[in-house]
Amino acid sequence: REQDYIRELETRIEEYNPKNSNAVFFKDLPISNATLRGLKEASFVKLTEIQKNSIPISLKGYDVLGAAKTGSGKTLAFLIPVLEKLYRENWTEFDGLGALIISPTRELAIQIYEVLLKIGSRTSFSAGLVIGGKDVKFESERISRINILIGTPGRILQHMDQAVGLNLNNLQMLVLDEADRCLDMGFKKTLDAIVNNLPISRQTLLFSATQSQSLDDLARLSLTDYKSIGTLDIV
């Protein structure tokens, strides 16, 4: 039955035409009941502009470069596709790391984690934070059981270099949040090193509050065949 429901969702996603979409409400999106309940319980009802423009494209499996100003709702724009991808893949706690979300600062990583706990409360995925401040070994022991990992660039690379705990072979989705800020903070090399060690077959979503040449360079390196979605004014 679950499998039938997933197939029905996949058909709805395929048939969904983002161009003449008027999905104003989350309940109009081809997403799972678990996510819909999580959204409703967190009082999210209507989509913001960047959510309206990017979520259907992300659900269809494209790589996305999303640019929209601070406060426009980019967190849900990537968390919903992450939850839905794992849901449709029948992801379980035994499948290991399915999604990696990179954020420039500890504070932002914690914010993403808190939103994920809210809207993911009706799913069975495990989520974790790696942001430094704790013993790497302590984190390593837990990391192997995590499905959705949120972390800062330096700390994630540190875990990758350790080669224990963190297994990226199965990774379905990479999210680079606040990518412009990651670049401003000097994380370019760290991001390149992380991206170069991830499976090519993954889907990647890159979000930013500004547009720049260095962001386009990062997009070219980390995204494949991507759709550029922006609600920033062209200047």
Q: Exposed, middle or buried, 73 (CB in 10 Å: 0-12/13-18/19+)?
A: middle
Partner whose footprint covers residue 54, from Mg ion, ligand ADP, none (CB < 5 to 8 Å by kind): none
Cα separations (Å) of 36 from 4, 83, 153, 156, 209? 18, 11, 30, 30, 26
How many CB atoms sit inside 10 A of residue 10's CB?
Answer: 13
Q: Is 46 in the site for ligand ADP (CB under 6 A)?
A: yes
Q: Is 65 in the site for ligand ADP (CB under 6 A)?
A: no
The mark string for 97-136 relative to ligand ADP (x by CB under 6 A, - otherwise) is: ----------------------------------------
Partner whose footprint covers residue 215, from ligand ADP, Mg ion, none (CB < 5 to 8 Å by kind): none
The mark string for 27-66 relative to Mg ion (x by CB under 5 A, - otherwise) is: ----------------------------------------
Nearer to ligand ADP, 80 or 171 (CB): 80
Q: Residues 24, 1, 174, 95: what is their CA dihedral angle, to the nearest 10 degrees? A: 160
Q: Is 74 in the site for Mg ion (CB under 5 A)?
A: yes
Q: Is 76 in the site for ligand ADP (CB under 6 A)?
A: yes
Which of 96, 97, 131, 95 lies closest to 113, judged by CA?
131
Q: Residue 61 is encoded by which pair of tokens? A: 């499996």
Q: Is 147 helix (H, G, I), strand (E, B) or coil?
A: coil
Give the residues lining the site for ligand ADP (CB under 6 A): 44, 46-48, 51, 68, 70-76
